[in-house]
Every structure is written in structure tokens, then in C-alpha cells.
Amino acid sequence: MKTTPFSMNAPARAFFITGTDTEIGKTFTTCALLQRWQQDGLRCVGYKPVAAGATLVDGQWVNEDAAQLLAASSPGFSLADINPLCLQAPMAPHLAARREGHRIDTDALLAGFESLRRRADVVLVEGVGGFIVPLDDETDTAEFARRLGLPVILVVGLRLGCINHALLTVEAIAHRGLKLAGWIANTVDPHMTGLTDNIATLEARIAAPRLGTLPRLDMTNATRAALLLTEPVMTAVLNSPQSS
């Protein structure tokens, strides 16, 4: 079933993408979601408001995750649109910002999101690390997600300990008053004992739909991963009322 592009006068559908930890495939999954909804003819863009860890490319500091999001997004967006704050050090953003003399201006990051929302049908905002990561001495990524007011899609990294991490994150999302729109099981450890049993346990305890289960794939296979996301559920999530 194809999804009709939204009116240019209507705000884009948007979701906050978070994960049970760092290095569990948030960016890979976000790229798969972007490509999946582009297959329905929608103009989609990823937004990485803060990224920590970058390399110098042609005189510009570039975060690998942000570059991947740019490549997976619809044409017409720049790296600066997608990642307005790129910190060099691969560490918690509040520590990297302090080291590099930056102040993380959440108002400016929210404005960047609103700008993208006027130019796309779907905007996916990818967080940093897990759900609660400090941005400064007073604000964290969970508070930023609350200010966005978007439904959340949770990426669960399938490895030992994922049940505890997932259920704690689900509780934290609810505690901030946010709607969990769905979750995606991403296979971090393909040799995990009881992998299917872990998925079944999570399905029984998370009151939100599983959008799909992704096998262990590298970033070049995001298009293949997009095909593994469950069509009826994806359409239902996209067309469900937004919480903002």
C-alpha cells in the first residue's frame, strides 16, 4: 500500500529515534526507515542535531553517522541542515562541548528541526547514544525529546542484556510523557543465545508494535533492511496521530 505525500501546508510527520545504548544500530535503522518511506514517494530527511566524533574531510569536520543520514535522505539537503552541531571528540556531547568550548543551544537545534519539517514529508530525529545523555549541566537528550514532543521509535540492540535495557528505556520514555510509536529489533550479536525468545519476551512486555527485526548487516545494506520493515505496521505508525 502506497502512502500519499502530505500537503505542503501540513507539518511533516516526525519521529524521535532513540536506542537502548550506543553502537546498537540507530543510524543504520534510521537510514532504513528513511529509505522505506521514500519508497512510498515521500520526501524524507534525517536530523542529527548533535553528533560527537568527527574526522576532517576537505577542511570540514564530518561525523560519519550524519554523513550516512545525508546519503539516505531525499535530495536537496546539506550536511549543515542535517547536523548543525558536530563535535570532534568521540565522547558524551556535554564533555566534548566543554572540551571544545561550545555551548549546546537547544533552542537553535529545535529551530533546525522546524526548518526541516517545512521542507519534507517525514523527519527522523536521531538522538545520541541511549535515551538519557547529558547535553549540558541541566539538559539531556530525553528533555530535548520532550521539547520536540514527537512519538519515539526505539531501536533495541539484540545482545545479552537487551531486555533490561529495552524495558528501562520504555519506562524512561513514558516518564517523560512521550508516546512510544514502535520499536525495531536490530541484531547486534547474531550468535546471541535465545535470540527469538528475547524478541518474544520484549513483544509481550512492550505495549507498542514491533516494526521489524533486522539481521546483522553493514551500513551498505540499509536498502535491504528497509525491505524487512513490516509494511502494514509501518503504514499504521506513519499515519497515526502525532503527539506534538
Catalytic residues: 48
Cell numbers that stand for 17 in this block: 529515534
Q: Which residues pair with 124 in a beta bridge?
A: 15, 46
d(CA 166, CA 18): 11
Residues in the chain: 244
Centre a 10 Å sphere on the Cβ of residue 23 and count the other Cβ atoms it contains. Answer: 11
Residues 6+ apart with CB under 8 A from 18: 26, 127, 130, 131, 141, 145, 152, 153, 154, 155, 169, 173
Cell numbers that stand for 16 in this block: 524521535
Helices (H) and strands (E) in the chain, counts: 10, 10
